[in-house]
Amino acid sequence: MTERKPAGMSFESWVDKQVRESEQRGDFAKLPGFGKPLESLEAPYDENWWIKQKLQREGVSVLPPTLALRKEAEDLLAALPGVRTEREVRSMLADINEKIRATLLRPPPGPPLNRKPFDVDAVVAEWHEARKDA
């Protein structure tokens, strides 16, 4: 569609010709989502829809730092049952506690963290208890 409309040809017929030729070449059949219903037709209009779709396709998640740290702490607790050694558990807890303390010492952008550093000995005791049952 980089060519210019010929003089003397109506704009509508020129566009129709371009569309028809593209259909004949199969250009539309190669588009993602061809033959599938349009998503969120009933959703209210959002002027940033294309940005949100791009972020979703790329797997990008933009969370405020405090929410990202909350999620990291929750993921760490969920991953502890699979950890093999106490040294590794203590190392993981020390790393997350350092991040939590640093966040608590400066005013964070976004919502409050609502998290305090883990009691390493208590979590390690729970980890030992969970390993006995498994």
Beta-carbon contacts of 81 under 8 Å, excluding residues fewer than 6 positions away, are 127, 130, 131, 134
Name the percent of the chain lying above pLDDT 90.
34
Give the C-alpha separation, 69 to 101, whole Å: 11
Q: Is residue 36 part of a domain?
A: no
Mean pLDDT of the region 8-29: 82
Name the percent of the chain lying above pLDDT 70.
94
Residue 119 confidence (pLDDT): 93
Confidence of residue 2 (pLDDT cuts 50, 70, 90): low
Judge whether residue 74 has pLDDT over 90: yes
* CA-based torsion, 88, 90, 92, 98: positive or negative: negative
Contact 65, 103 (CB under 8 A): yes
- pLDDT tens-place string over residues 51-71: 888 888 887 877 888 888 999
Q: Is residue 98 part of a domain?
A: yes
Total domains, the chain: 1
Average pLDDT along the chain: 85
Q: Is residue 46 part of a domain?
A: no
Give residue 118's domain range. Answer: 68-133
Q: Is residue 89 part of a domain?
A: yes
Q: What is the DSSP string of 30-69?
A: GSTTTTSPPTTSSSPP-TTHHHHHHHHHHT-----HHHHH
Residue 103 confidence (pLDDT): 87
Cα angle for residues 10, 16, 22 (degrees, 5° grid): 140
Confidence of residue 123 (pLDDT cuts 50, 70, 90): very high
Q: What is the dihedral of CA 22, 24, 27, 32, to 10 degrees?
A: 120
Residue 93 confidence (pLDDT): 96
Give the C-alpha separation, 122 to 83, whole Å: 16
Judge whether residue 133 has pLDDT over 70: yes
